[in-house]
Amino acid sequence: MYVVGNILHQTMAYPAAVNCSGAARRILLLPTTTTRPATRSFPRRLSAVTSRPITTLPSTPRTKSKSTPKTQPPTTPPPQPLQTRRTYHSTTHPPPPSPFTQAETTLLTTALTSHIHTHGFTLPSLTLAARDLSLLDISPSFLGPSPVARLIHFHLYTTRTTLPSLASQHSDLLSGLSVSEKFELLTWLRLKQNEPIIQHWQQALAVMAQPSQVPVAVRELAMLADEIYYLAGDKSVDPSWYTKRAALSGIYAAAELFMTTDKSEGFQETRRFLRRRLQEAEELGGAVRSVGEWVGFTASAGVNLLRSKGVRI
């Protein structure tokens, strides 16, 4: 007891100098009422935004709020746009819109009627037309990167769209003709529309042969051939619908080029050239149809022969 008491006295007086055995340490580890060391106090961490002490608010349970259904205003269906384009001829559909605006139409019409015969399809014709309309000389620039090509396109468009009224003026001649004779006459009437500007048409063809203008020229040529066949009364619905229009497009382009070098009176040589080409196309079409009929008959006969031999076809 004396030894234990002495050790306890030394532990309380000099705690760092105690070096005792394991049993004595276990005795020393018994809970005693000692003073707790003072903890180091740190200042409260401040918020970087509000410069106030950060406090933790008690979390409140979220309650699902009953959301009232939103009443949407009655929706009306959008108005259906009017059909302004057509891919076939029909009297019940409106004509396609013009590719030219009203301002462009006014300027190009003035150039065609007043200055093309003198200056041809050139930029001076458009400049003089702008002056006639009290516009600036730079006004033709709003026609696009190629005002001259735009002028030629306008001539092709107007001559094609005025062809129905021209056909109605010659209705007495068209009434007693066959379909082939009708489109020959209609093609000739369209060629005659180039007569006032024929001396400048080679220049126009050279402009429209440029790669950037080929799509416009081909499209106008295809629509012209379709217009001629429609006015002639063609009602074919078989693949010949395409072959007829393709053949007429090629014939018309050749006749138009021939007309630029024709010096005969009234362009009679051009009309004879047109009739020969149309007759050749009709004969070739008849020959192709005959060959097609022969091939179809031979193929059908061969299939029937193989079936009679027991071949499952």
Domains and CATH numbers, the chain: 1-97 (no CATH), 102-260 (1.10.357)
Whether residue 258 has pLDDT greater than 70: yes
User: Alpha-carbon distance 160 to 245, whole Å?
Assistant: 15
**121 in Cβ contact with 198 (< 8 Å):** no
Q: What is the model's pTM?
A: 0.64
Average pLDDT over residues 287-295: 52
pLDDT digits (tens, 9 = 90+) for 159-180: 999 999 999 988 888 888 888 8
**163 in Cβ contact with 220 (< 8 Å):** no
Whether residue 280 has pLDDT greater than 50: yes
Long-range contacts of 114-119 (CB under 8 A, 24+ apart): 116/151, 116/155, 116/197, 116/200, 117/196, 117/197
User: Alpha-carbon distance 186 to 193, whole Å?
Assistant: 11
Expressed in percent and rounded to 5, the helix, strand and coil fractions of the chain are 60, 0, 40
Distances (CA, A) of 161 to 95, 147, 151, 154, 281: 10, 21, 15, 11, 26
Residue 289 is predicted with a pLDDT of 53
Q: What residue spans of 193-311 are helical by DSSP H?
A: 201-208, 214-232, 240-259, 268-308
Average pLDDT over residues 130-144: 91
pLDDT confidence tier of residue 24, bands split at 50, 70 and 90: very low
Task: Using alpha carbons only, give the angle 243, 85, 104 rounded to the nearest 5 degrees.
Answer: 105
Which of the two residues, 229 and 62, has the higher pLDDT score? 229
Whether residue 65 has pLDDT greater than 80: no
**Tokens at residue 40, please?**
């180091």
Average pLDDT over residues 50-68: 51
Residue 190 is predicted with a pLDDT of 95
SS3 53: strand
Which of the two residues, 235 and 191, has the higher pLDDT score? 191
